[in-house]
Amino acid sequence: MSLKKYNTKRNFKETPEPSGKPKKAGSKLIFTVQRHKASHLHYDLRLEMDGVLKSWAVPKGPSLNPQDKRLAMMVEDHPYSYRDFAGIIPEGNYGAGIVEVWDHGTLSDIDNSDTDTAERKLKAGLRAGNLKFTLHGKKLKGEFALVKLKARESSDSNQNSWLLIKHRDKYAVDEPYNSEEKTPKSSPINKWLAQHGKAAGAKVPAKKPIAKKAIPSAKKEAPIAIGVKKKE
């Protein structure tokens, strides 16, 4: 799959975000959820398919309550190397703000098939607008679905509107689920919000780096170092 749209939107001389090429799937497919304080705080769900990360912006964040139908706007594919990106996107760049990893893990179809079979099923579900998948993360576990909404001819944005829904399984909950409550107060975004609040017009500093923690890769338990490029 092409990453042309992703690369076109970014100036890699200014943003620490990774550029990259599609990557052949490893022993297991991966997913990541990134929390992003840009003009508005939201979550980005990314699922590995075709060597890239298929991506949806989820304004209210994911939920483990099957009654919740969370709007998810499909955005451009991101490179596989974006899976562990965390840091500051400087002001003046696309998506300027703070990005942190909220959850991550492995991905499969709902039958937990082998990787090749799972990827074929996931791609078929994506094309059909009814994508069913299983997440093996720290916060998100079990079966989910992304269901594409019928597009209205008068609105281009509706072409990319989906609903993220939790299937009822042993990981589902009946009580209200708020992704924000599952985020530590010590997270970089929460520290910034504690200092600046959610006032309109408050901007994230452009250059100060964020301390980050390593997260394990999909293939091994060895940590992946998450880094922010230094200012040249």
Average model confidence (pLDDT) across the chain: 86
pTM (2 d.p.): 0.82
The domain segmentation of the chain, as residue ranges, is: 4-15+22-197+205-211
The answer on pLDDT for 218 being more than 80 is no
Residues 14-33: tens digit of each pLDDT: 999 999 888 876 789 999 99
For 87, left (φ over 0), alpha (ψ -120 to 50), or beta?
left
The pLDDT assigned to 175 comes to 97
Q: How confident is the model at residue 159 (pLDDT cuts 50, 70, 90)?
A: confident
The pLDDT assigned to 151 comes to 74
The pLDDT assigned to 22 comes to 81
Q: Average pLDDT, stretch 197-220?
A: 50
The answer on pLDDT for 51 being more than 50 is yes
Number of H helices, E strands in the chain: 3, 11
More confident residue, 104 or 206: 104
The answer on pLDDT for 155 being more than 60 is no
Two structure tokens written together for 26: 């490893």
The pLDDT assigned to 197 comes to 72
The answer on pLDDT for 216 being more than 70 is no
Measured distance CA(43)–CA(21) in Å, rounded = 23
Residues in the chain: 232
Q: How confident is the model at residue 57 (pLDDT cuts 50, 70, 90)?
A: very high
Q: How confident is the model at residue 196 (pLDDT cuts 50, 70, 90)?
A: confident
Q: Where are the beta strands (DSSP E) in 40-198?
A: 41-49, 52-58, 69-79, 87-89, 97-108, 130-137, 141-148, 161-166
Measured distance CA(163)–CA(70) in Å, rounded = 5
The pLDDT assigned to 198 comes to 61
Query: Token pair 């969370």 is at which residue?
Result: 70
The pLDDT assigned to 20 comes to 80
The answer on pLDDT for 96 being more than 60 is yes
The answer on pLDDT for 226 being more than 50 is no
The pLDDT assigned to 23 comes to 84
The answer to whether 17 and 34 have CB atoms below 8 angstroms apart is no
Measured distance CA(158)–CA(222) in Å, rounded = 41
Q: Average pLDDT, stretch 133-144?
A: 98
Q: Average pLDDT, stretch 183-188?
A: 90
The answer to whether 182 and 101 have CB atoms below 8 angstroms apart is no
Q: How confident is the model at residue 165 (pLDDT cuts 50, 70, 90)?
A: very high
The answer to whether 71 and 58 have CB atoms below 8 angstroms apart is yes
The pLDDT assigned to 203 comes to 61
